[in-house]
C-alpha cells in the first residue's frame, strides 16, 4: 500500500515515545550523569560505548558510530523500513498514526478494515482454543505434539469451531459486512444466490500469519478431524485438505508473507542465518527448543519475493527438508522458483544471498527430529548443509540411472543446461569438474557441450525462440546480459577499455551494453547513498543517461531527494521507492534488479568517482559526435552558399538570392551557437 505520514506525525510520535524507555527494552542502560550507557546492540563489545541522551532524544555508539533518534533505532534493531518502524513504535505507545494515502480513500479504508477483521479473528480463535469445551480435542492434540501453553500463547494459536457460520455471525454482530468477510478470506460467498457467507475455516487449528510489525494479515489452518462438518457437503475439495491458507487478499500474499518472521527476525539478525522449514508446527517446535531463527513459507515453495524479504535480515538461508519425496519435491520447486527470478539463480548465490540445503534423516520432519534427537543434533545436521548448486546437481543425478547409457546422456544434458544458466565462469568451472568426476566424462567434452548450450541461450533457441537474456559466462559483449558483472565495473572502465562503452547501443539488443551497465551502477550508488561524490551524481542531470529506463529511474531518484530537501526530511538508505512512482514495467524491473544487486565495491568512494568520471566521459563522447555532425552541416551550408553566389553572378539584388542567403546564414548562426554551447559544456566537464 502506497502511503506516507501526515505532516507532524513523526514529531508527535517522538514526543510520546521516550527514547530511554524504548531502548531500555533492548539494552540494559545505566545512568551516567545526564546520559545512560550500555553495551551496544549493533556490535559486540565488553566495555559499554553506547550512549542515550534523554534530553536530546538521541542515541550514539562511540564504538561503531551508529546513532540517531528513536525511529532510526527501531529501524536498525528491528530491521524495518521507515514506515514500518513508525508503525511498530506507534503500537508500543498506543498512538494512532495518521496517513496521507496515495490510494483512493475508500481503498485505504478497505485495507484497514481487513486488518481489523483479521485481528478480530485472531483474538476470537485464540479465545476459543483456550476457553471453549469444543476445543478440548484441539488442545489435546497440540499438547500431545509437545507444545507448552506458553508457546501456543506466544504464537497466538487458535481454533475455529466446527460450525458453518460461528465466526461470521460473531464478526457481523461487531459491524463487519458479509462482503468484508469474503474479501478477507475468512469466509466464503454463498452459492445459493444470496449475499450471505459461511466460514472458510471450520474445525481447524488456526495459525495467525503476521506482517513484520505484528499485524495479523492471514491464517494457516490445519484440519483436526475427518469426522466433521468439513467433510460433509464441503463447498470445495480444498476444505478437506489437511492444511489450507487464507487466499490472496489486499493485505496477504502467500508468495511474500513468511510465517514466524515477526518472532524470528531478531534471532535471524543475531545468528546471521534464517532456517526455512515446511510447517507452522516445525517453526513453533524449533522456537520452543531455543532455535528461534526458523520461519516457514506459507503453504508454497520458497519464492524470490520471500528471499528478498529475508535478505533484509540475513544473507544466509538454509532450506531444511525431511528426506521423503514430498520434501524433496518442495526443494526442487523452491529452486525452480528461484531460477525463474530474472532467470539468474547465481544472483542469490554470488555475493548476495547464500542458500544452503539441509536434509534430515529419513522419517523425521524438523519438529520430530528436535523432539526425539534434541537441538544439538539438529544444529549439527545444519552444519553439514550443502550449497544449493551441489544440492541441485545431486538431485538431478538422483533422477537417472547413470549406468544406463541413454539415461547418462539425459542426465548430462540436464546438468549442462543448468550450468549454462549460471553467469559466473568460476561457478561453471567448478560444476564442470564435479560433473566430470561423477559421470566419468572428460572436462573438455562437457565444456564443449556447455558452450553449445550457452550459444543456444543467447540466441533463444534453447527455449523455443524465446529470449531469456542470460549472460554467456565470461562475456560482456552487447548481445549478453551482464547486469551484475562478475568483476567490478572499475576494471571495465580502466584505460584500454574505453571503446567497450561505445558498443551495443541498440535498444533492441537482447542484453545490456557496458554503457548501460555503467548507468545501472550509478543508480545502485544513488539508491544506497554510497561515496563522497554521491551528491555530484545527483547534480549531473538526466541528459547523462542514454537509456530510457535508466533515465526515468534517475529522475525519480532526483525527485525524491529534491522533495526531501524541500521538506527538510532526512533520506534513509537504501531508498525504498514505491511502485506508484515508477512508470512502466521496464523501469520497475530495473529497480527490482538493482535491489537484488550485491554491493561488491571494496572502496565506495573510488567506485562513486569512477562511475561519475565515466558518465561524464561518455556524455562528452556523445557531445563530440554531435559537434562533428554540426561542423559537417555548417560546411555543407557554406558550400551551398558559395555555389549559389557563383551561379547568380551579378544578381545579388534578386529576391530569390536574398531569401536563400538569409535562410542559410540563419541556419549557420543556429549551428554555430549550438556548437559554442556544446564546446562550453565540454570544457566544463574536462577533468
**pLDDT one-digit tens code per residue, 115-149:** 999 999 999 999 999 999 999 999 999 999 999 99
Lowest mean pLDDT across 317-331, 444-458, 495-509: 495-509
* Set of cell numbers at residue 575: 531508498
132 vs 664 pLDDT, higher one: 132
DSSP one-letter code for 206:
E
99-101 and 158-160 beta bridge pairing: unpaired
Mean pLDDT of 659-676: 66
Nearest-CA neighbor of 218 among 299, 277, 103, 339?
A: 299
Please answer whether residues 559 and 607 qualify as being in contact, where contact means their C-beta atoms are separated by less than 8 angstroms.
no
Cα–Cα distance, 448 to 3 (Å, whole number)? 53
How do residues 42-68 score in pLDDT, each as one tens digit?
A: 888 888 989 888 766 788 888 887 877
Q: Please tell me the predicted confidence (pLDDT) of residue 517.
A: 86
79 vs 520 pLDDT, higher one: 520
Residue 88 predicted with pLDDT over 70: yes
246 vs 82 pLDDT, higher one: 246
Residue 504 predicted with pLDDT over 50: no
- Whole-number percent of the chain with pLDDT over 70: 70
399 vs 287 pLDDT, higher one: 287
| Mean pLDDT, the chain, integer | 77
Query: What is the CATH architecture of 258-395?
Result: 3-Layer(aba) Sandwich (3.40)
Highest mean pLDDT among 436-445, 448-457, 491-500: 436-445
* Set of cell numbers at residue 67: 546513532
Residue 108 predicted with pLDDT over 70: no
Residue 384 predicted with pLDDT over 50: yes
What is the CATH number assigned to the segment(s) 105-245? Answer: 3.90.980.10
Cα 513 vs. chain centroid, distance in angstroms?
25
Q: Where are the domains of the chain?
A: 3-101, 105-245, 258-395, 399-463, 486-687
Phi, psi of 315 (to 5 degrees): -105, 10
pTM exceeding the 0.95 threshold for the entire prediction: no
The CATH fold of domain 3-101: DNA Primase; Chain A (3.90.580)
Report the run of H or E that residue 243 belongs to, with start and end. strand 243-245
Predicted confidence band of residue 609 (pLDDT cuts 50, 70, 90):
confident
Predicted confidence band of residue 588 (pLDDT cuts 50, 70, 90):
confident
How do residues 304-362 score in pLDDT, each as one tens digit?
A: 778 878 877 788 999 898 766 445 555 555 555 444 433 345 445 543 678 888 988 87
Residue 497 predicted with pLDDT over 60: no
Phi, psi of 38 (to 5 degrees): -170, 180
Mean pLDDT of 371-379: 94
Amino acid at each position: 500500500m502506497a502511503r506516507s505520514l501526515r505532516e507532524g506525525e513523526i514529531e508527535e510520535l517522538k514526543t510520546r515515545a521516550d527514547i530511554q524507555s524504548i531502548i531500555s527494552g533492548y539494552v540494559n542502560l545505566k545512568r551516567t550523569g545526564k546520559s545512560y550507557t550500555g553495551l551496544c546492540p549493533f556490535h559486540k563489545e565488553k566495555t559499554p560505548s553506547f550512549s542515550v541522551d534523554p534530553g536530546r532524544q538521541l542515541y550514539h555508539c562511540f564504538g561503531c558510530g551508529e546513532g540517531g533518534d528513536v525511529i532510526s533505532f527501531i529501524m536498525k534493531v528491528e530491521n524495518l523500513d521507515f514506515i514500518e518502524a513508525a508503525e511498530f513504535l506507534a503500537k508500543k505507545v498506543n498512538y494512532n498514526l495518521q496517513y496521507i494515502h496515495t490510494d483512493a480513500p475508500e481503498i485505504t479504508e478497505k485495507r484497514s478494515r481487513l486488518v481489523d477483521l483479521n485481528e478480530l479473528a485472531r483474538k476470537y480463535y485464540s479465545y476459543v482454543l483456550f476457553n471453549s469445551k469444543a476445543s478440548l480435542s484441539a488442545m489435546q492434540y497440540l499438547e500431545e505434539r509437545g507444545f507448552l501453553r506458553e508457546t501456543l500463547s506466544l504464537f497466538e494459536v487458535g481454533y475455529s469451531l466446527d460450525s458453518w457460520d460461528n465466526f461470521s455471525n460473531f464478526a457481523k454482530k461487531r459491524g463487519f459486512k458479509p462482503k468484508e468477510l469474503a474479501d478477507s478470506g475468512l469466509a466464503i460467498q454463498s452459492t445459493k444466490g444470496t449475499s450471505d457467507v459461511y466460514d472458510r475455516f471450520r474445525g481447524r487449528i488456526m495459525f495467525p500469519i503476521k506482517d513484520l510489525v505484528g499485524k495479523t494479515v492471514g491464517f494457516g489452518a490445519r484440519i483436526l478431524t475427518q469426522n466433521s462438518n468439513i467433510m460433509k457437503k464441503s463447498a470445495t475439495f480444498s476444505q478437506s485438505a489437511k492444511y489450507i491458507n487464507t487466499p490472496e487478499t489486499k493485505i496477504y500474499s502467500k508468495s511474500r508473507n513468511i510465517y514466524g518472521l515477526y518472532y524470528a527476525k531478531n534471532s535471524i539478525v543475531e545468528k546471521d542465518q534464517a532456517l526455512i522449514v515446511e510447517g507452522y508446527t516445525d517453526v513453533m517446535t524449533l522456537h520452543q527448543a531455543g532455535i528461534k531463527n526458523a520461519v516457514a513459507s506459507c503453504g508454497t515453495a520458497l519464492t524470490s519475493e520471500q528471499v528478498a524479504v529475508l535478505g533484509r535480515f540475513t544473507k544466509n538461508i538454509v532450506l531444511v527438508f525431511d528426506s521423503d519425496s514430498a520434501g524433496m519435491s518442495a526443494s526442487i520447486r523452491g529452486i525452480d522458483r528461484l531460477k525463474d527470478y530474472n532467470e539468474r539463480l547465481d544472483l542469490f548465490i554470488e555475493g548476495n544471498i547464500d542458500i544452503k540445503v539441509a536434509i534430515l534423516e529419513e522419517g523425521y520432519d524438523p519438529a520430530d527430529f528436535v523432539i526425539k534427537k534434541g537441538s544439538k543434533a539438529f544444529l549439527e545436521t545444519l552444519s553439514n548443509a550443502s550449497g544449493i548448486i551441489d544440492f541441485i546437481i545431486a538431485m538431478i543425478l538422483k533422477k537417472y540411472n547413470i549406468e544406463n547409457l541413454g539415461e547418462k546422456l539425459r542426465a548430462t544434458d540436464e546438468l549442462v543446461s543448468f550450468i549454462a544458466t549460471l553467469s559466473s565462469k568460476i561457478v561453471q568451472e567448478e560444476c564442470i569438474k564435479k560433473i566430470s568426476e561423477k559421470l566419468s566424462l572428460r572436462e573438455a567434452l562437457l565444456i564443449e557441450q556447455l558452450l553449445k548450450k550457452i550459444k543456444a541461450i543467447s540466441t533463444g533457441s534453447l527455449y523455443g525462440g524465446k529470449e531469456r537474456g542470460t549472460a554467456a559466462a565470461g562475456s560482456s559483449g552487447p548481445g549478453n546480459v551482464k547486469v551484475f558483472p562478475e568483476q567490478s565495473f572499475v576494471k571495465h572502465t580502466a584505460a584500454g577499455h574505453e571503446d567497450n562503452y561505445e558498443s551495443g547501443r541498440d535498444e533492441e539488443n537482447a542484453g545490456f551494453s557496458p554503457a548501460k551497465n555503467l548507468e545501472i551502477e550509478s543508480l545502485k550508488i544513488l539508491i544506497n547513498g554510497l561515496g563522497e561524490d554521491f551528491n555530484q551524481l545527483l547534480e549531473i542531470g538526466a541528459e547523462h543517461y542514454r537509456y530510457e529506463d535508466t533515465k526515468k529511474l534517475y529522475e525519480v531518484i532526483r525527485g525524491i531527494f529534491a522533495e526531501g530537501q524541500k521538506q527538510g526530511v532526512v533520506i534513509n538508505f537504501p531508498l525504498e521507492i514505491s511502485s506508484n512512482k515508477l512508470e512502466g514495467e521496464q523501469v520497475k524491473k530495473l529497480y527490482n534488479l538493482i535491489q537484488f544487486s550485491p554491493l561488491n565495491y571494496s572502496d565506495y568512494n573510488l567506485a562513486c568517482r569512477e562511475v561519475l568520471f565515466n558518465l561524464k566521459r561518455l556524455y562528452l563522447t556523445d557531445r563530440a559526435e554531435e559537434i562533428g555532425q554540426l561542423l559537417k552541416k555548417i560546411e555543407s551550408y557554406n558550400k551551398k552558399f558559395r555555389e549559389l553566389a557563383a551561379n547568380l553572378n551579378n544578381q545579388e539584388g534578386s529576391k530569390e538570392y536574398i531569401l536563400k542567403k538569409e535562410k542559410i546564414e540563419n541556419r549557420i548562426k543556429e549551428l554555430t551557437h549550438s556548437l559554442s554551447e556544446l564546446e562550453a559544456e565540454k570544457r566544463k566537464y574536462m577533468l
